[in-house]
Structure 1
Amino acid sequence: MKIEFVKNSGKKLILLFLGYSFLPSCIKHLELTGYDLCVVYDYSSLEFDRQILEGKEIYLVAWSMGVWAANLALAGVKLKQAIAINGTPFGIDDERGIPKIAFKKSIDEFNFDEFKKICFLKELAKVDFDFNQNAKFELESLYLNSSKPVQNNVKWDKFIISKKDFVFPPKAVQKVAGELGSKCEIINAPHFAFFGYKSFGEIVEI
């Protein structure tokens, strides 16, 4: 996993786990006031340095496969709040995530432009940022690592679920939220939901 501090000057930290292939520039439009921000991305490797979290009050925001990655990286870490957006801690799972056959098809018939269309739908024209240049390798790494059994390690306060998500099936995310006793918020957005917010405060309600 790659880690980038956008701001690191105090105690309160928004820890953002992005989805597959996305880079920190995708959330540059979101206002950040009174909090530090650390972005985690690129899951070609699953190593995570927990030392960066020492002394921090952590507000976790995880999106897409970042929910799965955060669940692996933060087992036992005390969190002030945890928000999952369009993803589940089980990642690739026929009932509680992206069906395995669909994920494998996305590798076998790799088409990144088509993936972007699915992520953004009518908001594709707003995209003014780059993506991981090794996107297929990251996708293959996620598939290989997903074969390991997963249990939920995070107390998720809320799952935000987009009606127009064609990556993580909304019904699967709702199922997981129900099983874990977490709140659900349904929004009218595509898989990439961040264009619907102006600030991180709107997401974590701080």
Structure 2
Amino acid sequence: MQILKKTLAQEVADRLTNEILNGDYAVGEKLPIEPELMKIYGVGRSSIREAIKILSIQGILQVQQGVGTFIMSRNAEESLDSQMQKSNAAEIQEVRSILDAKIAAKAALYRSEKDLKTIKQYLDDRGRLADENNASECYQADINFHTAIAESCGNRLLKEIYSVACRHLMKFFEVSHKNEVEFFKLSQKIHTDLYEAIEKKDSETAARIAQFIVDRIY
């Protein structure tokens, strides 16, 4: 698998995260202004702004226009999880709609043979459990399948956001599918097509199929 080089923005985001975890910045504290951050981290304005954007998406920072940027949480996963817990099914589905195609395309480029084995195992579980009419475990296998794709995409931030969102998909499936598995039986073929596109490193096809799946709420 190709080794990915971190951007300056990601390096700054990682340093800020570590400093927050180490207590250098307290929850509720205001970050220094941009020029000071540029001096502290030795990078340009665009890298600082992108780093703040990354941490804002994770829920660690909050930008208040005209006031400043504040520390909101010490732990990205807990913060995101808390926000997802308060979200409804439609909001979680919207997150998937935005992310799925990008994740599938990147997974096709960066997946390893080990990743493929894991993805295939969950795909097979999904089909078998649907045939057995085991709704709850079938739903979980589907979630595991998509999470495994995210795990292989080579982008830590995308993986973290998607993995947290997927932990809350069960309530969406329970509402939308009502303990039925017919949609999962019907969509097993297209999920197989998605796996095969990732296996063949066909990022364009993987993205197209992933978007179709999420748009059809498969």
Which one has a larger percent strand, Structure 1 or Structure 2?
1
Question: Fold match, TM over 0.5?
Answer: no
Return the TM-score normalized by structure 1. 0.26
- Which of the pair has more CA radius of gyration? 2
Return the TM-score normalized by structure 2. 0.25
Which one has a larger percent helix, Structure 1 or Structure 2?
2
